[in-house]
């Protein structure tokens, strides 16, 4: 999976040499660890403390846990009962998201542990879908030795029940039938493998359209403008909070634009997220032209030298054509102020609404120039197969998945991880 969000190729901490081995004269490691513990709240919640313009620190518990993990493995391999020495800090900053206080090995271990944690959380989020899918597949496969038409019909029902969608299911089964006819699929195991690779193929193919990664936009482009669109209640504002937190945690300067001026509460809700994540917010009074708020935000982002501007938009207006016209106007304003902006327009789709959500999504595609999808509330459905239907029917990559309501419940959507999580390996 790699890093969450990064366009910059160089790492400042490497060039500064702050990750070089510590000199023996440095303060004892134990002290540094104690200092860290003192500086960070005792039981760090997943919601980070507001920290003004500074990068959000990683909770100390997490840092220690991640750093200790590989060492613990080494201990058991060598049966050495002696606990490893605490690691010396390389930096005057006890806690640093840029990793100024950590060595390369520690940073790598930290990143790996973080990935494992997110991967486990993602698996848990799609557990309901996995259980429902594998239970049904087991029932279909139970007591059968060979593949016949009846089995394929039942398989069709299973896939449709997981919300993979009628069109997508039919396309998948057609390929499977070809495989059977060509004697490439001879048994149930081969059938399951073919099914997995078909679903993965659909998800991968969708990455050819839109924007599949922030790295496709040149480093020199600043601010990188992300517009977040979608019908009301799908999770736009929550996703912005989560995105701001993680993009900032990777060392970027983030600014949020509250361009949902239709609902008075929308801006307040966003302000809470901005406060929680310590990311500045540009807002104006309800009823202000959203394009004007965006204009101000673009100016502010340029003046501050922000790396990323994330724009919240309304999910509901007096009528649909108003909403679409507004989005078009905002896009024009963005393009005038920053070359190529918005660089990403992410359509948020609520996984729980399944096929209905897909229908709503189509309306946005026509005007909003959507470049990718955020699939929220995957944790709240047993029909997580909708991800495949979305990729197939909208031909757009799923960039992120929402797996809960908390600030760090957002993962980069990884097709392989998704398919493996769905089929239980
Ligand atoms: N379980 C779960 N809930 C989520 C997720 N994302 C958002 N929610 C919840 O969905 C509800 C709506 O989220 P908002 O972020 O307010 O949605 P919105 O699209 O901004 O809504 P409008 O501003 O009305 O258009 C909130 O209760 C969120 O906590 C997710 O990934 N999982
Ligand atoms: Mg909102």
Q: Which atom of ligand 1 is nearest to the CA of 263?
A: 23
pLDDT by residue (tens digit) across 234-259? 999 999 999 999 999 989 999 999 99
Name the one residue in this structure whose structure tokens are 């229908």. 359
Residue nearest to atom 1 of ligand 1 (CA): 404
Measured from the alpha carbon of residue 346, the closest ligand is 1
pLDDT by residue (tens digit) across 137-167? 889 988 888 899 999 999 999 999 999 999 9
Q: Give the residues surrounding ligand 1 with Cβ less than 6 Å away.
A: 230, 232-238, 260, 266, 315, 376-377, 379-380, 402-405, 409
Measured from the alpha carbon of residue 232, the closest ligand is 1
pLDDT > 90: what percent of the chain? 57
Distance 184 CA to ligand 1 centre (A): 44
Distance 312 CA to ligand 2 centre (A): 7
Measured from the alpha carbon of residue 238, the closest ligand is 1
Distance 237 CA to ligand 1 centre (A): 7
Strand pairing of 344-350 and 372-376?
parallel
pLDDT by residue (tens digit) across 18-77? 444 444 444 434 344 444 444 444 433 444 334 444 444 444 444 444 434 344 344 444
Measured from the alpha carbon of residue 236, the closest ligand is 1
The predicted model gives 281-301 an average pLDDT of 96
User: Which of 46, 230, 235, 274 most suits a substitution to test ligand 1, by most atoms within 8 Å of the C-beta?
Assistant: 235
pLDDT by residue (tens digit) across 315-346? 876 567 788 889 999 999 999 999 999 999 99
Of the candidates 195, 128, 187, 124, which has an alpha carbon nearest to the alpha carbon of residue 159? Answer: 195
Distance 52 CA to ligand 2 centre (A): 22
The pLDDT of residue 145 is: 82
Distance 233 CA to ligand 1 centre (A): 5
């Amino acid at each position: 999976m790699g890093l969450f969000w990064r366009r910059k190729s160089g790492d400042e901490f490497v060039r500064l040499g702050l990750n070089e081995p510590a000199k023996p004269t440095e303060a004892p490691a134990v002290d540094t660890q104690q200092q860290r513990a003192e500086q960070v709240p005792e039981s760090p919640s997943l919601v980070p403390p507001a920290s003004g313009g500074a990068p959000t620190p990683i909770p100390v518990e997490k840092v220690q846990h991640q750093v200790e993990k590989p060492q613990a493995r080494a201990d058991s391999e060598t049966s050495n009962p002696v606990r490893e020495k605490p690691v010396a800090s390389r930096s005057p900053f006890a806690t640093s998201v840029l990793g100024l206080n950590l060595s390369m090995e520690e940073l790598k271990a930290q990143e790996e542990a973080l990935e494992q944690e997110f991967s486990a959380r993602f698996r848990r989020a799609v557990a309901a879908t996995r259980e429902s899918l594998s239970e049904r597949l087991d029932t279909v496969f139970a007591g059968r030795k060979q593949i016949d038409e009846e089995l394929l019909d039942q398989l069709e029902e299973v896939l449709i029940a997981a919300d993979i969608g009628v069109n997508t299911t039919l396309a998948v089964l057609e390929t499977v039938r070809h495989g059977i006819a060509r004697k490439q699929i001879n048994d149930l195991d081969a059938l399951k493998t073919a099914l997995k690779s078909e679903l993965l193929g659909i998800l991968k193919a969708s990455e050819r359209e839109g924007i599949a990664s922030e790295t496709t936009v040149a480093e020199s482009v600043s601010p990188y403008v992300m517009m977040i669109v979608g019908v009301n209640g799908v999770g736009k504002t929550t996703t912005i909070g989560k995105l701001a937190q993680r993009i900032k945690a990777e060392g970027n300067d983030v600014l949020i634009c509250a361009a949902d001026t239709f609902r008075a509460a929308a801006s307040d809700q966003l302000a809470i997220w901005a406060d929680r994540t310590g990311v500045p917010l540009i807002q104006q009074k309800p009823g202000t032209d959203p394009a004007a708020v965006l204009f101000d935000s673009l100016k502010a982002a340029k003046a501050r030298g922000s790396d990323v501007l994330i724009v919240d938009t309304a999910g509901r207006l007096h009528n649909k054509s108003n909403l679409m016209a507004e989005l078009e106007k905002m896009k024009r304003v963005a393009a005038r102020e920053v070359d190529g902006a918005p660089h990403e327009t992410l359509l948020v789709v609520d996984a729980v609404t399944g096929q209905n959500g897909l229908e709503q999504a189509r309306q946005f595609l026509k005007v909003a120039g959507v470049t990718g999808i955020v699939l929220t509330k995957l944790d709240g459905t047993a029909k997580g197969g909708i991800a495949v239907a979305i990729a197939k029917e909208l031909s757009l990559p799923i960039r992120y998945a929402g797996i809960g309501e908390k600030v760090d419940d957002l993962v980069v959507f990884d097709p392989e991880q998704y398919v493996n999580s769905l089929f239980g390996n």
